[in-house]
Amino acid sequence: MKTYKIGVLGAGRGVDLAKNFMLLDCEIVALCDDDEARLKYGVERLGDVPTFTDFDEFLNCDMDAVIIANLFHEHASFAIKCFEKGIHVFCECISNGTMAEGVELYRAYKNTSSIFFLAENYPQMVFNREMQRVCRGGSLGKILYAEGEYNHPFNMNDDDFRRVYMYHPKHWRNYLPRTYYITHSLGPVMCATGATPKLVTAFGAFAPHEDDIPTAEFVGDRAAIITTQNDDGSIFRVTGCCGFGAHHNSYRICGTNGQIENLRGMGEKIMLRYNSWSIPEGKEEINCYDAKWDDKDEELIKNSGHGGGDYITARMFIECLEESREPEHPFNLKAAIAMSSTAILAHRSMLENGKPYAIPDFDDPEDCLLYENDRLSPFYGMDGSAPTLPCCSHKDYRPTDNQIKNYLQALGIDSE
């Protein structure tokens, strides 16, 4: 196998991903970030690799592919620059932060030799791989319904978490609508079923933080409940990143003959059930068991991040490069844009009391025209421009002055 030369944009999460590529005998040839402290951290983890604060200078290095792992909503413009140079892209989710960026990405991709791979790792957790295997085996019958929950509450008194992940008042996590961080809930069910959302609606569950807890979050919602109608007639019910109940990642897929799910709070445990009249040979009506890897790289996988998903997605990307082929659904660019569009338009649905939105197909020129100038965003822009869209279902919600003051004190930032 060729030794691939990999550049890394984003010296936080990007460094974690780069370690998995090093396990695949790739060479990390350059590291880019706009923060010198993060670059120093990256060099400590990756070795003596050239560092850059300017992305254009970084791209002048000899490289086959770039890991794009900068801020959550700021991937598209960097991916397009890679496309223009014929450099392959391994992109953290989501692919585009605005609808216009989705149009631009798709148009640029049609004129490049680059391969784009969405680095969505949750489909590669062991229980999700088992659900994919069962769904693709056909024993569940026609898939009609699936659920995906990515539930990630955090302790609001955890200042260490805040300093690492929400380290300034305009940080994207302080403005993150509950629908936007969708790929960890939507990606696994898309992967298992092969379906793609075509229509979306959503409602928010509003429960803002009370008292003088240190926070600068302008999102008072704890969850968004998102429903999609899909291109195969099935229905999904998913969350974005939600904060209700206890921490878990849970998925359930239902067909005409049976259903499969991972059991909340039960590690790698799977529950596979069939109707009494449709039990396949060799199975029981109720089958409860631990999912197994059954993979040649099991030891490497177990030591990888995100339940093994980081290593497997890196390996899948390298396989695409080796075979000069598009990634499979839902890791290719078209599916990535569909996921990102679902996130963006679900939020608009939530702001409009559940109004349905059609998910565009940018192969259709009319859909491109509809969204090519749509740059509405709940986040601050790279140029410092203010958000142009409310980030919360209660559009006027904001943290109290005391909450913001306490947040700044927790970060050691002068509030005067």
Give CA–CA dist 416/407, Å, rounded: 13
94 upstream amide cis, omega within 30 of 0 = yes
Nearest to 87 by CA among 168, 201, 184, 9: 9
Q: Centre a 10 Å sphere on the Cβ of residue 172 and count the other Cβ atoms it contains.
A: 18
Longest distance between any two alpha carbons in the chain, whole Å? 71
Containing 299, the helix (H) or strand (E) segment is helix 298-302
* CA 128 distance to own-chain centroid: 15
Give CA–CA dist 248/267, Å, rounded: 10
Residue type, 13: R
Q: What are phi and psi of 95, to 5 degrees?
A: -75, -35
User: Tokens for 88?
Assistant: 């392959």
Report percent pLDDT > 90 for the chain: 90
CA angle (415 as vertex; 385, 242 as ends), nearest 5: 60
| The predicted structure's pLDDT at residue 415 | 62
Residue 149 per-residue DSSP state: E
Radius of gyration of the chain measured on its C-alpha atoms: 21
Question: 37 Cβ partners below 8 Å, 6+ apart?
Answer: none
72 in Cβ contact with 241 (< 8 Å): no
User: Tokens for 239?
Assistant: 């969350």
Spell out, as residue ranges, where the chain has pLDDT lower than 50. none
Question: Do β-strands 235-242 and 221-230 pair in parallel, antiparallel, or remain unpaired?
Answer: antiparallel
312 upstream amide cis, omega within 30 of 0 = no
- Condensed to tens digits (0 to 9), the pLDDT of residues 347-356 reads 999 999 999 9
Q: At how many degrees (to 10) do helices 99-109 and 333-351 cross?
A: 170
Interior/surface letters 305-314, b for 16+ CB within 10 angstroms, e for the rest:
ebbbbbbbbb
Question: 105 Cβ partners below 8 Å, 6+ apart?
Answer: 76, 79, 80, 95, 96, 333, 337
Edge-to-edge strand order for the sheet containing 88-91? 51-52, 27-32, 5-9, 65-68, 88-91, 116-118
Instruction: State the burial class of residue 121 (Cβ atoms within 10 Å of its Cβ: 0-12, 13-18, 19+).
Output: buried
Q: What are phi and psi of 148, to 5 degrees?
A: -140, 125
Give CA–CA dist 338/90, Å, rounded: 17
Name the pTM for this structure: 0.96
Question: 14 Cβ partners below 8 Å, 6+ apart?
Answer: 8, 31, 33, 42, 67, 68, 69, 70
- Condensed to tens digits (0 to 9), the pLDDT of residues 328-339 reads 999 999 999 999
1 in Cβ contact with 322 (< 8 Å): yes
Residue count (the chain): 416
- In the chain the domains, ranked by start, together with CATH numbers, are 5-118 (3.40.50.720), 123-306+332-371 (3.30.360.10)
- Condensed to tens digits (0 to 9), the pLDDT of residues 253-298 reads 999 999 999 999 899 999 999 999 999 999 999 999 999 999 999 9
* CA 184 distance to own-chain centroid: 5
End-to-end alpha carbon distance in the chain: 57
